[in-house]
Amino acid sequence: MIEKSHGYDVIADFWEWYQRREARHNPLANYALDKCEETFSQGISGQAVDPENADAFLRRGSSYFDKKDYDNAIANYSRAIQLVPKSATAYDDRGAAYSGKGDYDRAVDDFSLAIKLDPEVALYYYNRGNVYLKEKNYDRAIADYNRAIQLNPKYAGANNGRGLAKRAQGDMTGADADITKARQLEPNNVTP
């Protein structure tokens, strides 16, 4: 749940609605998101955006990330990190933006910091594993996917990623088992 403060209740409500998968593919929702972001950037009712609200920078970073504007996303996530240096979420989000930009070294660094700050979150291992997979560092990818699955056995994405890494290593039996498991967990959201 997004914190509702500083007069941003409408934006917070919209953001919660938009995060639902079906809303992201709705042209009207995307138009409204652009307008929300514009309003947010300029402040509400002539008020400036609170420069000390880390959550606001995370939300704005996510808005830029969704539009694939990775440089602005990184800038906002970095500001959130300045405000709350122990925010694992902010490091994970910034790592995702670096990954989207193709800056895999920085992405791995941020995912590793997120893991150091909160080692019990499967998503952080999954995200770092995805970068290792892109870099063809299959052993490290599999290790991260293993940890993500250990933390969340029903993590379809981690099972699928591990299957792809095993396939790249030539382990077809292991790959098929992992990809089959991923399909059982999420039939409509698996890349073979």
Tens digit of pLDDT for each residue in 7-44?
Answer: 445 555 555 555 554 555 566 666 666 665 555 554 43
Residue-wise pLDDT for 80-94, tens only, equals 999 999 999 999 999
Report pLDDT for 8. 46
Give this prediction's pTM.
0.75
Rounded to the nearest 10°, the torsion over CA 76, 156, 111, 99 is -60
Residues 6+ apart with CB under 8 A from 56: 6, 8, 40, 49, 50
Residue 113: exposure state from Cβ atoms within 10 A (0-12, 13-18, ≥19)? buried
Average pLDDT over residues 44-69: 77
Whether 109 and 97 have beta carbons less than 8 Å apart is answered as: no
For the chain, the farthest-separated pair of C-alpha atoms sits apart, in whole angstroms, at: 61
Q: What are the chain's domains?
A: 120-192 (1.25.40.10)
